[in-house]
Amino acid sequence: MSSLLKSREAILALAILILLALIASRFPGFVSPLNLANVFTDTSPLIILALGQMVVIVTKCIDLSVAANLALTGMIAAMMNGAGVPLPLILLTVIALGATLGAVNGLLVWKLDIPSIVVTLGTMTIYRGIIFLLTDGKWINAHEMTEGFKALPRLIFLGLPIMAWMAVAVIVLTVVLVRRTALGRAFFAVGGNAHAAVYTGISVGRTQMAAFVISGALAGFTGYLWVARYAVAYVDIAGGFELDVVAACVIGGIAIAGGAGTVAGCVMGALFLGIIKNALPVVGISPFWQMAISGAAILIAIAFNSRNQGPKGRIILKKAEHRA
Amino acid sequence: MSILKKALTTAALATALLAATGAHAEPKRIALVVKALGIGFFEAAAKGAEEAAKELGDVEIIYTGPTDTTAEGQIEVINSLIAQKVDAIAVSANDTDALVPTLKKAMDRGITVISWDSGVAPEGRMMHLNPSSNPLIGNMIIKLAADNLPEGGEVAVLSATTTSTNQNTWIEEMNKVMGNYPGVTVVGTVYGDDLADKSYREAQGLMQTYPNLKAIIAPTSVGIVAAAQAVTDAGKIGQINVTGLGLPSEMAGHVKSGASKSFAIWNPIDLGYSATMIAYNLANGTAKAEAGAEIPMGRMGSVKLDDKLEGAMADPFVYDASNIDAFSSIF
């Protein structure tokens, strides 16, 4: 029992249950299965992006360009749809394009050795700028998209919209990636101890680049989902969403210093934020408090994180340690 | 009389006649300077200006502007208009202050200068024409909702951010006139921060919190589109009407689907028409730009100037299924 309580995931799950109970006491309709399914669907883009971000953060990098990547690929998806390109081809293109945008980040981090926060801060602005160049700031609106294009994320399959199933699929794929593949283990090795990783024959830069490519591909895919769901594409869509994505990871216990984190924690971190975002409009909390509440949740999570950090490794030479 | 003398007299007479008729038919040249060429909104304003010119008869419209929305570009354009000695300049400015010296120079040379749509600082123009005014907008947004609710009902407001000055002023003005719409109650105001996803979620929240909600008023172009999409996805078209301020090109689909019965925004054609009429009347001396003055604007009535020499053209123009197609290609 005590070991269960110590696990971050258990604490987070408990926090989510308490949160739901609190919300239900003010607005009982929120915890109806149908509404919870809606909340999960609404949180799907955040879950998908947070999982991509998790892989990047685990390698001791950060990807601030995900929302801009999403906006650019989403815009291109909408433009391709306008040009009459069939949907499967659009999906393949946005994923490939997202991966390419991620690879640009990865290459800059790897080959030029620039800190990832600087690289992605730069590409974030560049990607949004490209949207402006492509569109002159014009919007692509609901009536300019085909019905099929808008309908896919909304199609109900086994009781849930496709959008939610996409999140489930990405969760499963990420679990397989981090637990069952060499690349998955390399992510943790690189982030946990880069020097040790090099000695075991892992290329740090190449691994980090792979993480960026995965994050980019997921952002590209989410770009389509986002634009199809909200039926509008313009320069500023998902503005500031990268911060939500990073926050979901932090709440989920992904160590910002790299090397630690679980898929379950990440998903729950995203759900935690998603529940707050969906509940605040219905529980009647003043909008002036909403941001403060979201911010407080993040701070509490970080405080927990730093307290729960395990021992950093065994000190072999005590004398040397004292001399230093 | 010699033939030579006869010929000379005839020529002189002809010249005099020509000069006389020329002076009579000399048209007023009014320059419509826009933020940038190629923008649908301003092309529509130019259409309105041409309409005014046709009505007035002796007006020539020079529709011009820079190729991108910069103050420098506009200054160049205005300098060349001064060199051409136009009679009036009506400008939608890219910068409130940057154009002032150039426009002052124009006024010094006897050119009538007014600003419209996007204003210039008071010292750089004779008057400014606002497309509408805060009280008119505040009244219009609630009127749009009330017109479709003969029996009254609950309505909610989906605004931009809590700190958006424009939206807050409009909502304040709306609350002042609520008494004129008995039966219509505003049950809540939520903020979508002008983000599509947050606005969508707030609209969903409104529908959940207020099951009897009849209308969502969104005085912001991002919010109105997101709310219309949320109502569509919730299958509540016909039950909840989304209205407010939006752009025809962005709202066309939602008006056709019925999610929005009507919404409002300025009419650029009327704006160009009114700016031309005002510039003509000021240049002709039939009206003077001073506080309290009423300047006629043809079919748009007249504009009354306040202490800051600003005036509001009219109520925001209402767009619905009957006219959306004509305007959605314009802006």
DSSP per residue, A163-211: HHHHHHHHHHHHHHHHHHSHHHHHHHHHHH-HHHHHHTT--HHHHHHHH
Confidence of residue B11 (pLDDT cuts 50, 70, 90): low
Here the CATH number for the domain that contains residue A278 is 1.10.3470
* B57 and B203 belong to one structural domain: no
Residue B118: how many CB atoms within 10 A of its CB?
A: 17
Confidence of residue B4 (pLDDT cuts 50, 70, 90): low
| Contact between A24 and A282 (Cβ < 8 Å) | no
CA angle A133, A139, A140 (to 5 degrees): 110
Confidence of residue B162 (pLDDT cuts 50, 70, 90): confident
CA torsion angle B174 B176 B177 B180 (round to 10): 140
User: Which region among A273-277, B11-15, B107-111, B173-177 has the lowest average model confidence (pLDDT)?
Assistant: B11-15
Residues of A in contact with B246 (CB under 8 A): none
Distances (CA, A) of A198 to A214, A236, B180, B251: 21, 40, 75, 56
Q: Are A284 and B209 inside 8 Å of each other by CB?
A: yes
Confidence of residue B90 (pLDDT cuts 50, 70, 90): very high
Residues of A in contact with B209 (CB under 8 A): 27, 281-282, 284
Residue positions counted in chain A: 324
Confidence of residue B20 (pLDDT cuts 50, 70, 90): very low
Residue ranges making up the domain that contains B183: 134-265
* B116 and B146 belong to one structural domain: no
Give how far B208 is from chain A: nearest CA, Å: 7
| Contact between B75 and B98 (Cβ < 8 Å) | yes
Nearest CA in chain B to A286: B190
Q: Kindly state whether residue A320 falls inside one of the protein's structural domains.
A: no
Share of chain B above pLDDT 90, in %: 47
How many structural domains are present in chain B? 2
B252 interfacial to chain A (CB closer than 8 Å):
yes
Q: Look up residue B98 and give its DSSP letter.
A: T
Pairwise CA distance, residues A163 & A229, whole Å: 9
Q: Kindly state whether residue B235 falls inside one of the protein's structural domains.
A: yes
Residue B183: how many CB atoms within 10 A of its CB?
A: 10
DSSP letters along B37-64, please? TT-HHHHHHHHHHHHHHHHHSSEEEEEE
Pairwise CA distance, residues A192 & A254, whole Å: 12
Asked if the model's pLDDT at residue A317 lies above 90, the reply is no
Q: Which two tokens stand for residue A198?
A: 């090099």
| Contact between B139 and B177 (Cβ < 8 Å) | yes
Using one digit for the tens of pLDDT, what is the confidence trace for B100-112?
Answer: 999 999 999 999 9
Asked if the model's pLDDT at residue A324 lies above 60, the reply is no
* B127 and B216 belong to one structural domain: no
Asked if the model's pLDDT at residue B22 lies above 50, the reply is no
Asked if the model's pLDDT at residue B271 lies above 50, the reply is yes
Pairwise CA distance, residues B50 & A239, whole Å: 40
DSSP letters along A216-276, please? HHHHHHHHHHHHHHHT-B-TTTTTTHHHHHHHHHHHTT--TTSS---HHHHHHHHHHHHHH
Q: Kindly state whether residue B228 falls inside one of the protein's structural domains.
A: yes
Pairwise CA distance, residues A218 & A198, whole Å: 27
| A52: Cα within 13 Å, side-chain hemisphere | 32
Nearest CA in chain B to A71: B196
Nearest CA in chain B to A153: B233
Asked if the model's pLDDT at residue B158 lies above 60, the reply is yes
Residue B169 confidence (pLDDT):
87
Residue B63 confidence (pLDDT):
94
Residue B302: alpha-carbon gap to chain centroid: 15
Confidence of residue A36 (pLDDT cuts 50, 70, 90): very high
* B197 and B242 belong to one structural domain: yes
Q: Kindly state whether residue B63 falls inside one of the protein's structural domains.
A: yes
A139 interfacial to chain B (CB closer than 8 Å):
yes
B224 interfacial to chain A (CB closer than 8 Å):
no
Here the CATH number for the domain that contains residue B249 is 3.40.50.2300
* B99 and B149 belong to one structural domain: no
Asked if the model's pLDDT at residue B308 lies above 90, the reply is no
Residue whose tokens read 């202050």: B97
Pairwise CA distance, residues A240 & A260, whole Å: 25
Q: Which two tokens stand for residue A146?
A: 């085909």
Average pLDDT over residues A216-236: 93
User: Is pTM beyond 0.80 here?
Assistant: no
Residue ranges making up the domain that contains A102: 39-303
Q: Kindly state whether residue A16 falls inside one of the protein's structural domains.
A: no
Residue B23 confidence (pLDDT):
44
Q: Which two tokens stand for residue B251?
A: 């709202």
Using one digit for the tens of pLDDT, what is the confidence trace for A60-78?
Answer: 999 999 999 999 999 999 9
* B150 and B237 belong to one structural domain: yes
Residue A95: how many CB atoms within 10 A of its CB?
A: 20
Average pLDDT over residues A128-150: 88
Please state, rounded to an integer, the average pLDDT across all residues of chain B. Answer: 87
Residues of B in contact with A135 (CB under 8 A): none
* B82 and B186 belong to one structural domain: no
Encode burial over A59-77: b for 16+ CB neighbours within 10 A, e otherwise.
bbbbbbbbbbbbbbbbbbb
Nearest CA in chain B to A145: B253
What are the start-end ranges of the E strands in chain B?
Answer: 28-33, 59-64, 88-91, 112-116, 127-130, 153-159, 184-191, 213-218, 241-244, 262-265, 294-296, 302-304, 310-312, 317-320
Residue A304 confidence (pLDDT):
73
* Residues near A99 by beta carbon (within 8 Å), at least 6 away in sequence: A213, A214, A216, A217, A220
| Higher-scoring residue by pLDDT: B50, B289 | B50
Residue A164 confidence (pLDDT):
94
Please state, rounded to an integer, the average pLDDT across all residues of chain A. Answer: 88
Confidence of residue B119 (pLDDT cuts 50, 70, 90): confident
Q: Kindly state whether residue B2 falls inside one of the protein's structural domains.
A: no
Distances (CA, A) of B151 to B148, B184, B319: 9, 8, 23
Q: Kindly state whether residue A25 falls inside one of the protein's structural domains.
A: no
* Residues near B81 by beta carbon (within 8 Å), at least 6 away in sequence: B31, B33, B62, B64, B89, B106, B111
Tell the burial category of A316 from Cβ atoms under 10 Å away from its Cβ (0-12, 13-18, 19+): exposed
Residue B14 confidence (pLDDT):
53
Q: Look up residue B299 and give its DSSP letter.
A: G
Residue B171: how many CB atoms within 10 A of its CB?
A: 21
Q: Which two tokens stand for residue A243?
A: 């911060």
Q: Are B197 and A144 inside 8 Å of each other by CB?
A: no
Share of chain B above pLDDT 70, in %: 92
Q: Which two tokens stand for residue A95?
A: 């994923």
| Higher-scoring residue by pLDDT: B157, B328 | B157
| Contact between A259 and A32 (Cβ < 8 Å) | no
Asked if the model's pLDDT at residue A312 lies above 80, the reply is no
Asked if the model's pLDDT at residue A59 lies above 50, the reply is yes
* B103 and B176 belong to one structural domain: no
Average pLDDT over residues A12-17: 89
Using one digit for the tens of pLDDT, what is the confidence trace for A146-188?
Answer: 989 999 998 888 889 999 999 999 999 999 999 999 999 999 9
How many structural domains are present in chain A? 1
Asked if the model's pLDDT at residue B25 lies above 90, the reply is no
The candidate with the shortest Cα–Cα distance to A149, out of A70, A236, A76, A237, is A76
Coil vs helix vs strand at B88 = strand
| Contact between B286 and A175 (Cβ < 8 Å) | no
Coil vs helix vs strand at B218 = strand
Residue A62 confidence (pLDDT):
95
Q: Kindly state whether residue A153 falls inside one of the protein's structural domains.
A: yes
Residue whose tokens read 């008494």: B179
Number of Cβ pairs < 8 A linking chain A and chain B:
71
Q: Kindly state whether residue A159 falls inside one of the protein's structural domains.
A: yes
Confidence of residue B3 (pLDDT cuts 50, 70, 90): low
Asked if the model's pLDDT at residue B289 lies above 90, the reply is no
The three-state (H, E, C) secondary structure of A124-162, written as one string: HHHHHHHHHHHHCCCCECHHHCCHHHHHHHHCEECCEEH
* B128 and B272 belong to one structural domain: yes
Q: Kindly state whether residue A308 falls inside one of the protein's structural domains.
A: no
Work out whether the CA dihedral B86, B90, B92, B96 comes out positive or negative: positive
Residue A98: how many CB atoms within 10 A of its CB?
A: 30
Asked if the model's pLDDT at residue B36 lies above 90, the reply is no
* B25 and B116 belong to one structural domain: yes
Q: Give ipTM to 2 decimals.
A: 0.75
Pairwise CA distance, residues A106 & B257, whole Å: 44
Residue B138 confidence (pLDDT):
92
Residues of A in contact with B206 (CB under 8 A): 281
Q: Are A142 and B254 inside 8 Å of each other by CB?
A: yes
Pairwise CA distance, residues B195 & A238, whole Å: 7
Pairwise CA distance, residues A44 & A166, whole Å: 8
Residue A215 confidence (pLDDT):
97
Asked if the model's pLDDT at residue B18 lies above 60, the reply is no
Q: Which residue in the set B197, B202, B256 is minimally distant from A238, CB to CB?
A: B197
Confidence of residue A320 (pLDDT cuts 50, 70, 90): low
* Residues near B259 by beta carbon (within 8 Å), at least 6 away in sequence: B228, B229, B231, B232, B237, B241, B242
Average pLDDT over residues B182-208: 90
Residue B329 confidence (pLDDT):
81
Residue whose tokens read 């910068």: B95
A40 interfacial to chain B (CB closer than 8 Å):
no
User: Which region among A78-82, B12-16, B155-159 has the lowest average model confidence (pLDDT)?
Assistant: B12-16
Q: Kindly state whether residue A112 falls inside one of the protein's structural domains.
A: yes
Q: Kindly state whether residue A94 falls inside one of the protein's structural domains.
A: yes
